Amino acid sequence: MRAVRLPWPALLLLAAAAHAGVLPEDRADVLYHRYQGGGLTVQGPSVLVRKKIGESFSATANYYVDAISSASIDVVVTGASPYKERREQKSLGVDYLRGKSTWSASYMTSKENDYKSSTWSLGVSQDMFGDLTTVSFGYSRGNDTVQKTISDGMGGKMLDPAFRKTIDRHDYRVGVTQVLTRNLLASVNWETISAQGYLQNPYRFSRYLPGPGSPTWARQPETFPNTRTSNAAALMLKYYLPWRAALEGQYRFYNDTWGINAHTAMLEYTHPWQQRWVFSGSYRFYTQNSADFFSDLFPAIDAQNFMARDKETSALSTHTLGLGVAYEFPVTWASWLTRGTANLRIDHMMIDYNYFRDLRNYPPGSVQPGTEPLYSLTANIIQFYVSFWF
């Protein structure tokens, strides 16, 4: 039920693209993830396997599942019933090592009842200057199909045969990683994404005043532009402390042709303890302004060419606190496994929307439109996974 999906944990395949000069280790990861907040619960498993083939090739496969149940603000305000759905994502990748260059290719596909997506990606990275510098380039092409469910007249749901939209995406990436000193590592990355097609959610609406000073409001479908180009630049510094700990700082700036500018800053500290434990703590701050065509309440029907009330196009700010722990354990019950780790990560997210208002307890006519309280939510994200090296 959500168009313009951006898959997140399952991008392990892409995020783990090989570093130049070395292939990923042979390992398997089994993950359970859970997001709960704002009336939305997303949970499921993921399995990721990496395996070298000879001295020059490495293959990666990932299977990821989202089980989604929602009574979120978007569902409640439209009067729809809470829903459940399932999304499956599969991906395959291969890395080829030649000298100090690593060439990577991957393909990813995901499917749910009303949204299908496929993405292929190519990349290359090169070590140079005595392996102190790594330069990488990447390109991805994605094609999505957006559909919409409607009532089948018998108490169930069916796909609307008259509604079928597409999205075409292009993603260009370039990055440089530099060893600055014995203990300091820096990375600079740039990404440009161009999308064209149906870039909105078919279930969401904008609201407007039927007349000047009206005590009630009405709704109409959102209308988004059919193109969007975004640019993002990121800087990461990682400093290794004398007691084997590490301090990492990140900053990212984002802007797009919809008028959204966003800033992200993160600080993380990682601390080993004894021989087998690693603890980490982090703080992340994110802020953005509203899209040019966003309004919580438009002055009239068809007030402008593009009209959005999607809360993700509103100005907002997010604070996220995270804690993580990893434990390395010996594997004695399988001779073909060398070691294993158990990892737990918990993030607490707090989001405040600057202009998007909470209409759940304020139907049209109950209060003067535009005086409803602003919406905010808290969410908890849990990731637990076990890794085995072989």
Provide the pLDDT for residue 7. Answer: 37
Residue 371 and residue 355: Cα distance in Å, rounded? Answer: 11
All domains of the chain in start order, with CATH: 104-389 (2.40.160)
pTM assigned to the model? 0.91
Q: Is the pLDDT of residue 9 over 70?
A: no
Residue pLDDT, tens place only, 233-261: 999 999 999 998 999 999 999 999 999 99
Per residue, the 3-state secondary structure of 26-87, as one string, reads CEEEEEEEEEEECCEEEEEEEEEEEEEECCCEEEEEEEEEEEEEECCHHHHHCCCCCEEEEE
Residue pLDDT, tens place only, 10-59: 333 333 333 456 888 999 999 999 999 999 999 999 999 999 999 999 99
Burial of 386 from C-beta contacts in 10 A (0-12 / 13-18 / 19+) = middle
Residue 281 and residue 347: Cα distance in Å, rounded? Answer: 10
The pairing of strands 40-53 and 157-179 is unpaired
Q: Whose CA is closest to 86, among 47, 119, 115, 48?
A: 115
Return the amino acid letter for 85. E
Provide the pLDDT for residue 1. Answer: 41
Q: Is the pLDDT of residue 156 over 90?
A: no
Give me the count of residues in the chain. 390
Return the amino acid letter for 40. L
Provide the pLDDT for residue 12. Answer: 35
Report the percentage of the chain scoring pLDDT > 70: 95
Q: Give 74's pLDDT tier (boundaries 50, 70, 90).
A: confident
Q: Is the pLDDT of residue 69 over 60?
A: yes
What's the helix, strand, coil split of the chain in %, to 5?
A: 5, 65, 30
Torsional sign, CA 346, 188, 167, 229? positive
Residue pLDDT, tens place only, 199-211: 999 999 999 999 9
Q: Are 136 and 173 in contact (CB under 8 A)?
A: yes
Residue pLDDT, tens place only, 114-142: 999 999 999 999 999 988 999 999 999 99
